[in-house]
Amino acid sequence: MEKYQVSLTINNIPVTVEEGSTVLDAARKVNLHIPTLCNHPDLKVAGNCRVCVVEIKGQKELSAACATPATEDMEVFTNSRRVRTARKNIVELLLSEHNADCTKCYRNGNCELQWLASEYRIGDHVFHDLVKEQEKIPDTSSWSLIKDDSKCIRCQRCVRTCNDLQDVGTFSVIKKGKRQKVSTFLSKPLKEVFCIDCGQCIVRCPTAALSEKANYEEVWDVLETGKHVVISTTPAVRAAIGEELGFEYNKHSDLKIVTALKLMGFNSVVDYGFFTDIYIVELCTEFLLRMKQAQANEGSAKMPLISSGSPGWVKYAAEKHPELAGNLSDCKSPHQIFGAVVKSFYADKKALDPKKIITVSVSPCTAAKAESANPKMEVNGLKDVDFTITTRELARMIRQSGIDIERLPETDYDNLTQIHSGASVLTELSGGTTEALIRTLYELITGNELTPELLKIMPLRGQNGIKETVMKFTDVRADWDFLEGKELRFAVVNGTGNAAKFFGTLPEKEYHFVEVMACAGGCIGGGGQPIPVSAELVKARSSILYSLDEINGVKKSHDNSALQDIFREFLKQPGSEKAKEILYKEVPKVN
């Protein structure tokens, strides 16, 4: 049904918008900037901060542009005396409640409140400082997040993110009046409450009230210890880091980043894609073994197999869906596999003492920080990943080192890991792990070349909350004859916010594989990525990764020749005892 159009004027400029649009939408349509704070494109309208107030002719009071529907013949003024006075007062009020230690602040230079303060030239601090001393002590108990209430401006973007978007509910508003604040269950420290470490609150926080637990200083330190420091950056990190550093990603960026990391003192830069290919091959093996087991003895293997590569999702599942524990894949995530393989195979090949190797993972994910701190994530008694830093932290390190990436020459990745498949790049996108899995699965089962449709499984792409595809296998190899003519159903849950809906209906449908990513869009929209974030930005970043797959000659993980080497020389075969020891979370039960 076609929507009605409404015509109005903003600062006497006529504009026509669809019915249901807000005054803010209408203003943007004619390129008029109205400042906002609590408003965020990914979140429900709140109308709390009142920074966006405008004057509407005939209305006694001002109206919040973000929350007021545009109506026919409305006359809006965005910059009248009354509006400016109110707006300036509001910004002043927010600053009086805010610990404005800007020069010491993590978000200095990238803070929405700071921008507003400079726009309205707040210099004289008219009002009383309301920041309470006890609020200045941040909650640093979590592995991934730091919550600093003295920086909080109560816009509640984090509350809406955590509840509406992620369906986690770590944060809620407590008390009223001057005591009102964003808090956790019973105001406990973050490590004692349910939080999946996804960091989606961080990327939507306008100030530094929420930030990641930074580890980059420790990384700088370790670079001077004489240890062999190996670093990996994920494709999502490389696709987005330019947003922080002010350059646009191009085909040279990856290898320029390698040069930068070398210049910064890392001994070795490995290609994350190589480890992801190992992950996909193992995941595929696990899938087929489970299918076979389930076939031989119904109920002995839990189906569907559910991905566990997203640590935020793993934590979410443990809390909210404990019944799925047996369905979750036993494979470590690619990020942990990186650490584990470097401290085993890589150490062997390079004749290095694994104890003297330090692994640093640069991840778009804040939950990866918590994941690598998990004592179960180890190989031969050594932590898989010693330090996990986010895209933002790496950008900071690069800035601190004074390197201009764009002017650097290119350097190859470490020779053991120089090859990755297009499939490996997809795994950081929602639906991508499933696509990568299907590429390997199809060839393994049928022995046939992939059809073009299977190289781009459109139903699994895009930003829908739940995506599905069905595959029918014919002409299967003898080993897999039980799959002949069978339809395999794959589902993708895009963000934990859609998990309850999906797993609520699970018993009705038979699925074989379900991929869940904690963050909408996948790792590319992770909580460690550059700020700001929005569905639109995630889409733009995603298209970089899709194009990287398209230009890659190696489409399938199992075709990666470097991967074939490691299996031949070290892991023997997928699913071997050796593989389980290194690549699986816990030593699996003997059948």
Partner 1 sequence: MESHELKRIDLIFSNYTTSKYKVLERTLQRDPDEIINELMDSGLKGRGNAGFPTGLKWKFARRNEAETHYVICNANESETGTFKDREILERVPRKVLSGMAICAYCTGARKGIIYLRQEYAYMMEHLQNELNIFHQHVKEFNFDFTVEIFLGSGSYVSGEESAMLDSIEGYRAEPRNKPPYPITKGLFDMPTVVNNVETFATAQVIFRIGAEEYSKLGTPLSPGSKLFTLSGDTPKPGIHELELGMTLQDFVKEFGDNNTKAVQVGGASGYCIPQKLFAETVIGFEGIPTGGSMILFNNSRSMYKVLHEYLRFFTEESCGLCTPCRIGTQQLLKGVEAVKKGERPVSYIDVLIKLALSMKSSAKCGLGQSVANPFISIIDNFKEEILY
Interface contacts to partner 1, rule CB under 8 A: 45, 47-51, 53, 61-62, 64, 67-69, 82, 85-86, 89-90, 93-94, 96-97, 126-128, 130, 153-154, 173, 175-181
Nearest alpha-carbon partner for 151 in 127, 178, 132, 164: 132
d(CA 91, CA 581): 56
492 burial via Cβ count (<10 Å: 0-12, 13-18, 19+): buried
d(CA 455, CA 29): 38
Shortest approach of partner 1 to residue 47 CB, angstroms? 4
Tokens 């990568």 correspond to 436
Shortest approach of partner 1 to residue 83 CB, angstroms? 9
d(CA 557, CA 344): 21
DSSP state of 69: B
Strands 378-379 and 382-383: antiparallel
Smaller CB separation from partner 1, 86 or 198: 86
Smaller CB separation from partner 1, 160 or 343: 160
487 burial via Cβ count (<10 Å: 0-12, 13-18, 19+): exposed
Shortest approach of partner 1 to residue 500 CB, angstroms? 18
Smaller CB separation from partner 1, 50 or 558: 50
277, amino acid identity? D
367 burial via Cβ count (<10 Å: 0-12, 13-18, 19+): buried
Smaller CB separation from partner 1, 69 or 465: 69
Smaller CB separation from partner 1, 45 or 506: 45
Shortest approach of partner 1 to residue 98 CB, angstroms? 10
Tokens 């559910």 correspond to 306
Smaller CB separation from partner 1, 68 or 329: 68
Q: Where are the beta strands (DSSP E) in 203-307?
A: 210-212, 228-233, 268-271, 305-306
d(CA 236, CA 364): 6
Shortest approach of partner 1 to residue 73 CB, angstroms? 15
CA atoms within 13 A on the CB side of 113: 29
Smaller CB separation from partner 1, 98 or 558: 98
d(CA 522, CA 239): 13
Shortest approach of partner 1 to residue 87 CB, angstroms? 8
Shortest approach of partner 1 to residue 128 CB, angstroms? 4
Smaller CB separation from partner 1, 92 or 378: 92
Smaller CB separation from partner 1, 181 or 376: 181
Shortest approach of partner 1 to residue 532 CB, angstroms? 21
Nearest alpha-carbon partner for 101 in 207, 213, 215, 217: 207
User: Is 411 in a helix, a strand, or coil?
Assistant: coil
Shortest approach of partner 1 to residue 146 CB, angstroms? 23
d(CA 216, CA 252): 25
